[in-house]
Chains A and B, each alone.
Chain A
Amino acid sequence: MGLESLISGEGFLTTTVNSIVNWGRKNALWPMPFGTACCAIEMMATFSGRYDISRFGAEVVRFSPRQADLLIVSGRISLKMMPVLQKIYRQMPEPKWVISMGACASCGGVFDTYTLIQGVDQFMPVDVYVPGCPPRPESLLDALFEIQKLVGQERLDSGKHGS
């Protein structure tokens, strides 16, 4: 017995606008992959068949930030790349979320040198960090679940992404 039989005919359900909007958003996240290093290899593995992020509704990978609502920063961000990353972040429409994937994006990793940003969260908001060097696809999937929890807590009238 499926949902169809319950709502066929005169069937209806009650919910709140907030709940149904959050339900839609969190199960249809459109990621913008920002892969600059080896973490991007694991990210690609997460997107493809074996791990298959589309099981959780996030398979529509957008290479234009204007069509995405989840930015996955996976890899080292250098001095030269940081303004680019910020521009891409600002081009994404609200509401938007950010995953900082791997040690380099989160804290510079082993590259404590003149040319590498020591954590992108110094210069832009980050919602979920993924530890690892590089993290396994399971870790990135777990980060997606954390993002989905955050999306589920959003309120349309207030909050971080409210207007």
Chain B
Amino acid sequence: MESTVVDMAANDAAYDALAPDLQSLVIDQTEHQGQVALTCKAEHQRQLLEHFRNEQGYDYLVDVTAMDHLGMDRPERFEVVYVLRRIGASGHQFRLHVWLSEDQAELPSVFDLWDSARWGERETHDMFGIVFQGNPDLRRLLMPEDYPAFPLLKDYPLKGAGERRQFTRVVPRGDQMVEEEPEDYPTSIGRGMHTPEYEEEVRRDSKPR
């Protein structure tokens, strides 16, 4: 029976197959438990992905996601992750990590290389606010369409910024139901996480358990 564990020896394949000029674009190469990750800068993301798709036959984009390294000692705030796989005998899989600055949180879309990028990029935009230029459909995916924030950012409060309390109430009045506007809660949108206002809001919002 063929093992599903990725062959360790094949793991450098993606990097080794790169021409020397492309190898110089890879600024870091790590391996953890048989999983290889290559790292590059934002400006080289499109060039490398095109190469992996067209020259090396990585025909399946498993996922696009991101990490927010706010407050950590990293080159940039955002790290966008592409998980690439070859469908076929080797089934080889690796990740391409792309450093992305907070000031210019934009990357070219790769939906023309892999159709599955449409969904991954849309979700990453929904959660982190990263813009994938050229993606035709970056509407909200998981969050409501009018949601004002990007909830997986580290400076977004864990309990939200008041959105979950701002619904119209349906209350019985005599023989009919009427709508009441929600109470006016001040929210901590845009104020960062550890301000006194936010701490106060968390305290007010905490329920006895």
Contacts and interface: CB of A to CB of B under 8 A. Distances in A.
A113 B158 contact: yes
A124 B182 CA distance: 12
Interface residues of A, number: 24
B167 A83 contact: yes
Interface stretch (A19-27, A39-47, A114-122): A114-122
A79 B175 contact: no
Contacts of A115: 143, 151, 160, 164
A123 B168 contact: yes
B144 A117 contact: no
A86 B163 CA distance: 16
Mostly, the B contact residues are: loop
Interface in B144-186: 144, 147, 151, 156-161, 163-165, 167-172, 175, 177
A107 B164 CA distance: 12
Contact of A86 (B143, B161, B168, B175): B168
A123 B15 CA distance: 55
Given A79-B143, A107-B207, A86 B167 contact: yes
A123 B180 CA distance: 9
A89 B175 contact: no
A137 B165 CA distance: 31
A124 B207 contact: no
Contact of B164 (A117, A125, A161, A163): A117
Contact of A116 (B144, B164, B169): B164
Mostly, the A contact residues are: loop
A162 B172 CA distance: 11
A118 B164 contact: yes
Interface string A114-141: 1111100011110000000000000000
Contact of B163 (A90, A114, A122, A160): A114
Given A79-B147, A90-B177, A107-B207, A114 B170 contact: no
A142 interface: no
Contacts of A124: 169-170
Interface in B73-99: none
A50 interface: no
Contacts of A163: 175
A134 B105 CA distance: 42
Given A79-B143, A86-B167, A122-B165, A114 B172 contact: no
Contacts of A160: 172
A90 B170 contact: yes
A114 B156 contact: yes
B144 A80 contact: yes
A60 interface: no
Contacts of A82: 167
Contact of B169 (A83, A113, A122, A161): A122
Given A90-B177, A115-B151, 6 more contacts: A79-B164, A86-B167, A113-B160, A114-B156, A114-B161, A122-B167
26 contacts: A79-B143, A82-B167, A86-B167, A89-B177, A90-B170, A94-B175, A112-B159, A113-B158, A113-B159, A113-B160, A114-B156, A114-B157, A114-B159, A114-B161, A115-B151, A115-B164, A118-B164, A118-B165, A122-B167, A123-B168, A124-B169, A124-B170, A125-B172, A160-B172, A161-B175, A163-B175
